[in-house]
């Protein structure tokens, strides 16, 4: 078998031209003892991809190939790799490296490592000048800690979005006690939120979808929601005062968001955890807003390797499936993905597929 020296992928050159993808070769990082080379077969389209290429999150290192919900097969294994076998179907998510030795990394908080975090795309590999490139491409090269075996029961296209969106929803649920006897809300029924509903229910929590209108109610209930709150309706928060143990805020925008009303629904010391990173300015929070029920406000960043493996196992056992629309990888498919993601025209995730036709 021949190993890749380069990968070939679709890059964007600037925020002004973020729907124009250019197929190019680019360099992979030097192959390390713990690295795994993966031939990519599918990649989900994450909101982060759009924020990144369209400039919403500020300056990026262009040209850039995005995509961090990667599924493929391991085709080469470094000499010290023990977690992955050659030929195994595997996934890669949004983060690809951390220092590995600090308290946080040792404590299953590697996504919060304060020393080194290499994102799957757009980060510079130390001492190389090489910028990491994502999964709209033929191959990725990733340290084994960040490569996850995919259970057989989960299909490639459907599992791909779990690698970022799924884990992003799953980690704050399990870290904040979602389970039997708990009332959990999911705000924002998009890519992350639809996994949130699915996982909250699978974990045994009383699960509520919280969305602006009732347009997505049937979907929410099909995904597992026990109840539905439409915030466009007058007095929507009233019957839920002081009752939620946890709300995971997956909304992609904070515009027109009356946070105080949401917080009034939290039980004493309940947790309001945000996983979206809106492009707008934040919200003004006064101690007075938090004191009525001692609510805790936080944010969550991806999830640990252990959580990823547990989530995939849970999905395999319970037959959980993201709602995925497949689009063909390529200039046209990626343009459509970006345009429709920007409009929110997706229920609830795109996966780019057809890699074998495009890369050789």
3-state secondary structure of 57: coil
C-beta of 147 vs 174, nearer to a copy of itself: 174
- Write down how long the chain is: 360
Binding a copy of itself by CB under 8 A: which of 153, 296, 309, 316?
Answer: 296
# binding residues, a copy of itself (CB under 8 A): 38
Residue 1 contacts a copy of itself per CB under 8 A? no
Q: Considering just the CA atoms, what is the radius of gyration of the chain in Å?
A: 20
* Distance of alpha carbon 85 from alpha carbon 77, whole angstroms: 7
Residues 63-92 that bind a copy of itself (CB under 8 A): none
DSSP 45-74: E-HHHHHHHTTTTS---SSB-----EEEEE
Binding a copy of itself by CB under 8 A: which of 79, 291, 319, 343?
Answer: 291
* Distance of alpha carbon 211 from alpha carbon 214, whole angstroms: 7
Asked if residues 201 and 224 have their Cβ atoms less than 8 Å apart, the reply is: yes
Q: DSSP letter at 16?
A: G
Q: Give the residues across from 328 on adjacent strands.
A: 353
Binding a copy of itself by CB under 8 A: which of 31, 78, 293, 340?
Answer: 293
Contacts of 281 (CB under 8 A, 6+ apart): none
C-beta of 1 vs 284, nearer to a copy of itself: 284
* Distance of alpha carbon 105 from alpha carbon 96, whole angstroms: 13
CB count within 10 Å of CB 116 equals 15
C-beta of 5 vs 269, nearer to a copy of itself: 269
Binding a copy of itself by CB under 8 A: which of 14, 19, 104, 155?
Answer: 104
Angle between helices 165-175 and 305-318 (to 10 degrees): 100
CB of 283 to a copy of itself, least distance (A): 6
Binding a copy of itself by CB under 8 A: which of 23, 24, 73, 175?
Answer: 175
Q: DSSP letter at 114?
A: S
Residue 222 contacts a copy of itself per CB under 8 A? no
Residue 177 contacts a copy of itself per CB under 8 A? no
C-beta of 288 vs 360, nearer to a copy of itself: 288
CB of 306 to a copy of itself, least distance (A): 15
Question: Scanning the structure block, which residue is given the tokens 């979206």?
Answer: 276
* Distance of alpha carbon 154 from alpha carbon 333, whole angstroms: 24
Q: DSSP letter at 4?
A: P
C-beta of 256 vs 282, nearer to a copy of itself: 282
CB of 205 to a copy of itself, least distance (A): 18
Residue span binding a copy of itself (CB under 8 A) among the ranges 15-23, 109-117, 179-187, 202-210: 109-117
C-beta of 108 vs 356, nearer to a copy of itself: 108
Which structure tokens are listed for 251?
A: 């909304």
Residue 114 contacts a copy of itself per CB under 8 A? yes
Residues 254-273 that bind a copy of itself (CB under 8 A): 268-269, 271
Binding a copy of itself by CB under 8 A: which of 95, 274, 351, 353?
Answer: 274
Q: To 5 degrees, how large is the angle CA 269–CA 233–CA 339?
A: 90
Given the rule CB under 8 A, which residues bind a copy of itself? 103-104, 107, 109, 112, 114, 175, 241-242, 268-269, 271, 274-278, 281-301
């Amino acid at each position: 078998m021949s190993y890749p020296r380069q990968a070939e992928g679709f890059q964007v050159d600037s925020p002004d031209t973020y729907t124009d993808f250019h197929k190019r070769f680019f360099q992979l990082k030097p192959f390390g003892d713990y690295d795994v080379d993966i031939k990519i077969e599918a990649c989900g389209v994450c909101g982060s991809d759009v924020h990144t290429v369209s400039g919403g999150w500020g300056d990026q290192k262009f040209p850039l190939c995005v995509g961090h919900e990667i599924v493929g097969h391991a085709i080469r294994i470094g000499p010290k790799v023990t977690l992955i076998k050659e030929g195994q179907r595997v996934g890669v998510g949004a983060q690809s490296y951390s220092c590995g030795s600090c308290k946080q990394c040792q404590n299953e908080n590697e996504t919060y490592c304060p020393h080194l975090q290499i994102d799957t795309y757009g980060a510079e590999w130390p001492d190389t000048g090489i910028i990491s490139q994502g999964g709209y491409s033929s191959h990725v090269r990733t340290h084994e800690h960040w490569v996850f075996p995919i259970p057989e029961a989960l299909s490639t296209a459907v599992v791909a979005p779990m690698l970022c969106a799924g884990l992003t929803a799953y980690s704050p649920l399990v870290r904040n006690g979602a389970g039997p006897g708990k009332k959990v809300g999911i705000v924002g029924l998009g890519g992350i939120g639809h996994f949130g509903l699915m996982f909250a229910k699978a974990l045994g929590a009383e699960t509520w979808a919280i969305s602006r209108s009732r347009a997505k109610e049937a979907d929410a209930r099909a995904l597992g929601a026990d109840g539905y709150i439409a915030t466009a309706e007058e007095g929507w928060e009233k019957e839920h005062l002081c009752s939620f143990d946890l709300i995971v805020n997956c909304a992609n925008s904070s515009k027109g968001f009356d946070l105080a009303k949401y917080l009034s629904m939290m039980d004493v010391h309940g947790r309001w955890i945000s996983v979206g990173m809106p492009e707008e300015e934040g919200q003004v929070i006064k101690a007075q807003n938090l004191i009525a029920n001692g609510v805790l406000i936080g944010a969550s960043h991806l999830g640990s390797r252990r959580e990823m493996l547990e989530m995939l196992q849970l999905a395999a056992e319970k037959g959980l499936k993201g709602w995925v629309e497949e689009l063909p990888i390529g200039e046209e498919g990626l343009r459509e993905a970006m345009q429709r993601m920007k409009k929110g025209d997706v229920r609830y995730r795109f996966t780019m597929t057809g890699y074998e036709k495009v890369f050789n």
